[in-house]
Amino acid sequence: MTPRKKPKVYITRKLPDAVETRMRELFDAELNIDDTPRSADELLRAVTTAEVLVPTVTDRIDSALIESAGPQLKLIASFSNGVDHIDVDAAAKKGITVTNTPNVLTEDTADMTMVLIFAVLRRLIEGSRVLTEKPGAWSGWSPTWMLGHRISGKRIGIVGMGRIGTAVARRAKAFGLSIHYHNRKRVNPATEEELEATYWDSLDQMLARVDIVSVNCPATPATFHLLSARRLALMQPSSIIVNTARGDIIDEAALIQLLKDHKIAGAGLDVFSNEPVVNPKLLKLAQEGKAVLLPHMGSATIEGRIDMGEKVIINIRTFFDGHRPPNRVLP
């Protein structure tokens, strides 16, 4: 039997060296070693020449692009957990399989959620800025200076109790927070018992009763502005919100207004509605110490990126071996 030709794989962004080396060995891989942004024309060339497209969250793989794909494109093996940048329905209609890289980002993203909670409640960035941006301005310890809020004893309300939400809950419980969650369906009783978690069927009621809201659900049409102006207004003035999921789950303009009006106490955001552009009003709020902003770093660890690359490789190899890839995403 003649061995199959290596599949032609187009990768849109620079990936860790170890992943690129492996991809070169296994595939006829077109890499992006200097990470130059790919234009719409280049993506069009990719979908009309490659058998596999490996996009990331920064690429718009919309229905127009998918409809322009040639018959050779068989697989979109996304280097991402979320697939909101891909029109999965359009891909299915065209007979193109879509895969993602779940599980390997869970712990890192949950860690970053906790980092944001601590950064907002304990004023980490403000404190650090006193030393780094105003050298000499620190006149020493004072009983009433730079006071934040105690973490333990607070109530966290997790919106979306999937893998990442559950990992956040485990960490939060270890820090003495009581766990509340809202999810499409209740998690299994053993997990609820382990976390001593309270399930809220009504998101509205949960928002009104917790001190920290953590957004951990996927971005889908159903979760677009799930945290709407009306819902955000239900939060207590002393409460904070953190988001390591996707910007569009929160109505950003409404959040900005509530922060400005002191209707909620703070926000920790790793994701934004219009990335990489960040609303200047949010930047101003961050300068004033009302928000901590990070540039979509939730899953940014070396280990995580290598694991994501391994998942992409396994998905591609399994697909071309004629089997169902382990991380197939269904519409």
The residue ranges that bind ligand DGY (CB under 6 A) are 57, 80-82, 105, 296, 298-299
Minimum Å gap between C-beta 296 and ligand DGY is 6
**Nearer Cβ to ligand DGY, position 82 or 266?**
82
Least distance in angstroms from the C-beta of 270 to ligand DGY: 9
Active-site residue 275, yes or no? yes
3-state SS of the chain is CCCCCCCEEEECCCCCHHHHHHHHHHCEEECCCCCCCCCHHHHHHHHHHCCEEECCCCCCECHHHHHCCCCCCCEEECCCCCCCCECHHHHHHCCCEEECCCCCCHHHHHHHHHHHHHHHHCCHHHHHHHHHHCCCCCCCCCCCCCCCCCCCCCEEEEECCCHHHHHHHHHHHHCCCEEEEECCCCCCHHHHHHHCCEECCCHHHHHHHCCEEEECCCCCHHHCCCECHHHHCCCCCCCEEEECCCHHHECHHHHHHHHHCCCCCEEEECCCCECCECCHHHHHHHHCCCEEECCCCCCCCHHHHHHHHHHHHHHHHHHHCCCCCCCECCC
Closest approach of ligand DGY to the CB of residue 309, in Å: 12
| 184 is an active site residue | no
Catalytic residue (one of 182, 246, 252, 305): 246
Nearer to ligand DGY, 154 or 305 (CB): 305
CA 122 – CA 244 distance, rounded (Å): 18
**In the complex, what is the shortest distance from the CB of residue 305 to ligand DGY, in angstroms, rounded to a whole number?**
9
Q: Min. distance of Cβ 219 from ligand DGY in angstroms? A: 9
For ligand DGY, the closer CB: 51 or 84 = 84
Min separation Cβ 57 and ligand DGY, Å:
5
Marked catalytic residue, from 275, 310, 317, 328: 275
Is 296 labeled as catalytic in the residue annotation? Answer: yes
- CA 232 to chain CA centroid, nearest Å: 20
Pair 181, 161: CB distance under 8 Å: yes
Closer of 163 and 281 to ligand DGY (Cβ): 163
Q: Which is nearer to ligand DGY, 123 or 311 (CB)?
A: 311
For ligand DGY, the closer of residues 206 and 294 by Cβ is 294
Of the listed 38, 180, 231, 296, which one is catalytic? 296
Handedness of CA 133, 136, 141, 142 (dihedral sign): negative
Catalytic positions are: 246, 275, 296
